Amino acid sequence: MASAAEQLAANMNMGSFAKATELHKRLLFTLGALIVYRIGTYVPIPGINSEAFLQFFQNPDGQRGILDMFNMFSGGAVERMAVFALNVMPYISASIIVQLMGTVYPPWEKLRKEGGDSGRKQLNQYTRYLTVVLALFQSAGIAIGLNATPGLVADPGLFFVVSTVTVLTGGTMLLMWLGEQVTARGVGNGISLIIFAGIVAVLPGTIARMFGLAQEGQMSPIALIAIAAMAVGVVVFIVFMERAQRRLLIQYPKRQEGNRMAGGERSFLPLKVNTAGVIPPIFASSLLMLPSTVATMTATANLPAWLSWVPTVAAQMQHGQPLFSVLYAILIVFFCFFYTSITFNPEDTAENLRKYGGFLPGIRPGKR
């Protein structure tokens, strides 16, 4: 469903853009929200030694696991241990759980299918409550891990743990609220825009480092051009796959209205090649954060013999390792099927066609 800003933009040309005050307000509101988000990624949590943590994070011998990926999603907030270090990942995890429960738990399934706008609002409220719980859990794990690592905290103790949990959880809730406000008062898709802004924020630094390597002779100009061409090719391919769809012809029967025949129109039912969009990899990354973070935080601890396998798992949960890659691929495939079944339900589509008398030419209506 198109956002309000998309609907406004679709009905205007470049000449009328200057007169679209409503669209201007939405764009400015979105820009302001993203500026607030970027500022928050540079504000460290109280009591953290930022320089020591950055050295610890960038240590090639450290086991960061999937935290490298989430540092990219958060626009560098993780390596700076900023107030927005958790980003919106607890909210995404909560959304996964609520949507899963909405397909297997009858009361929530009824809310999702028959509750209408009030049911959707109630499920959104459940998502917010669960976001708080997950943010508290993840921030507690981070706070305990930081508190137990020498040199990272100026004054370690219970106060640091409590304050860190409060700040990180509050940062996540603020981002969730900002995302909802951008969806309602901005250009729409607020949570996706926050994730997008975090990823794009690290691109200038990455490009600058690549040019620096080329100037120092550590990367050949041909390799630099090849990487740029590959990046452009990947973007073109992604856009092509995102826009690709198969259109099924829908025919509506003619009907008698007074002295004339009405109806008989034709329309198309678009079936997108990539119905789930980018949701599956985001969901998979969000779920992989929890076990990898727990394994990473316990990898250097004095563990009993029956937990001796934890360091091995922590090493395998590094981004790019076989275990991580296998779990990542499995979760992406699973969420592709799961999210597609939510966004496009063949039975619901068939029921809607039946209500309005539509049918696919050459296919007999009814169950087969």
Tens of pLDDT, residues 37-93: 999 999 999 988 888 888 877 765 555 555 666 777 787 888 888 999 988 888 988
**Which of the pair, 264 or 160, is modelled with greater confidence?**
160
Question: What would you report as the CA-atom Rg of the chain, rounded to the nearest whole angstrom?
Answer: 25
**Which DSSP letter does residue 204 get?**
H
- On whether the CB atoms of residues 301 and 74 are closer than 8 A, the answer is no
Q: Taking the CB of residue 158, how many other CB atoms lie within 10 A of it? A: 8
- Domains of the chain, each with CATH number or no CATH: 20-201+276-343 (1.10.3370.10)
Nearest to 142 by CA among 191, 231, 77, 224: 77
- Specify the pTM: 0.75
Give the residues across from 270 on adjacent strands.
Answer: 247
Q: What is the dihedral of CA 116, 117, 119, 125, to 10 degrees?
A: 160
Question: For tokens 């409590």, what's the residue?
Answer: 162
CA angle (88, 322, 67) in 5-degree steps? 25
182-240: per-residue pLDDT in tens? 999 988 888 888 988 888 888 888 888 888 888 888 888 888 899 989 999 999 998 89
- Alpha-carbon distance of 175 to 193, in angstroms, equals 11
Contact of 261 with 254, CB cutoff 8 Å: yes
Q: Please give the full DSSP string across 253-288, using - where no structure is assigned.
A: -EEEETTEEEE--EEEEEEETTSSTTHHHHHHHHHH
Least confident stretch, 16-20, 110-114, 194-198, 232-236? 16-20
pLDDT digits (tens, 9 = 90+) for 338-361: 888 877 878 778 887 877 777 787
Contact assessment for residue 69 and residue 285, using Cβ atoms and an 8 Å cutoff: yes
pLDDT of residue 1: 46
**CA distances, 73 to each of 66, 199, 213, 361 (Å):** 11, 5, 24, 46
CB 164 within 8 A of CB 128: no
